[in-house]
Amino acid sequence: MTRPFEGVKILDFTQVLAGPYASYQLALLGADVIKVERREGEDMRRTPLSREWAERGLAPGWQAINGNKKSLTLDLAKVEAIAIVKKLVAEADVVMENFRPGVMDKLGIGYAALSEVNPKLIYCAISGFGQTGPERASPGYDGKIQALSGIMAITGHERTGPTRAGFAVCDVLTGATAAFGVSSALFQRIRTGKGQMVDVSMLEATLAFLAGQVADYSVAGHRQKLSGNQAVSRKPTANLFKAGEGFLLLAVNNEKQYIALMKALGRDDTFDDPRFSNWFARQENEPALRAVIEGALAQKSARDWEKILEAAGAPCASIWTIEEVIDHPQIAARSAIQEIDTPYGRLRFAGSGFRLAHGGGRLESMAPALGAHTEEVLSAIGYDGAAIADLRAREVI
């Protein structure tokens, strides 16, 4: 079955995380993505988590977001490389890049130059702050955006201070935003026949995901604080609790669930306690309510309580590690972790995060070795063996 972006050709200059994550989403859905790298490859290929994979130029985190792509190496400082780019752009649908604003223009392959070559081109530029504004030239890093956007102002505990999220949240949500932006532009082009610039700012993408928190202040004047593990509902039973030797995250947010929780904990007696008669009283007496809950939870393990409370209708989850959750029965039932045979054995990677009734995301090939498709890509645009050998000898490719 045809996937949504089959036939769409993307020339991908992105590197590190946000940009490659964006193009990877489109590659999973069938787009033909040519990843353009400098001759020595991007630094993410050699991140130090695993010496073995870094020495192969295939660091795990890099592989995770570069499957289904082809690798072309080019020295963009050379005129011959720029000529190759323009030949590829003539047949491309999309160009994606995440250099600082102005870098691609200086190379002669910014939006203005490339849209002359291909007026229907969709050009997606991902940066920390966008292509305009006083901060346009400032570098954008995930930690910097987490701190600046307000995420860290609401993440963490009062006693320990602001905390960075445990993964590069701003990078990946920016990548998801960029993929959506490109998808929108491709759909619009069907109606207008016109290409366009897609300007993606990490800061703005992050604020878009903080829509509720923004409105809490802009509409109601509410100033957010560090909320620890407290849910945005601010219900005292939607928080993290000690359970046995571990922890349990309760997501009990309504009266029906609260009743189910107390019954499952064997604390029906609290229904007659005025301190817990309604949500306002429960909030005012949160320490006492926490003592009741944790006193009961201490009797069994978090995993045992997870099964008991879920069955009773009190939503919760124990704390699962990454290595545990990828083998969760629910994940397995939906094939959410995709497996692929490679020269290094059978490897497993996360998929696109959603399913289509037909033509959904599919990982078909592992992330490419550096320059693995250079000859294939150049041959397709008219370079013969001698010309390719000459380009290689002159260190253009």
Q: Annotated active-site positions, please?
A: 171
Residue ranges of the alpha helices (H) in the chain? 18-28, 51-55, 60-63, 79-90, 103-107, 111-117, 142-149, 151-154, 169-192, 202-209, 211-220, 255-264, 279-284, 286-297, 302-312, 322-325, 329-333, 374-380, 385-393
Please compute, for residue 163, the number of CA atoms within 13 A of its CA located in the half-sphere on the CB side: 13
Q: Which residues of 11-43 are buried (b: 16+ CB within 10 A; e: fewer)?
A: bbbbbbbbbbbbbbbbbbbbbbbbbbbebebbe
- Residue 32 — φ and ψ, nearest 5°? -90, 100
Residue 94 bridge partners (DSSP): 10, 122
Please compute, for residue 11, the number of CA atoms within 13 A of its CA located in the half-sphere on the CB side: 24
Q: How far, in Å, CA of 293 to CA of 212, rounded? A: 29
Q: Which residues of 257-276 are buried (b: 16+ CB within 10 A; e: fewer)?
A: bbbbbbebbebeebeeeeeb
129-132 long-range contacts, Cβ below 8 Å, gap at least 24? 129/201, 129/202, 129/203, 130/101, 130/199, 130/200, 130/201, 130/203, 130/204, 131/101, 131/197, 131/199, 132/199
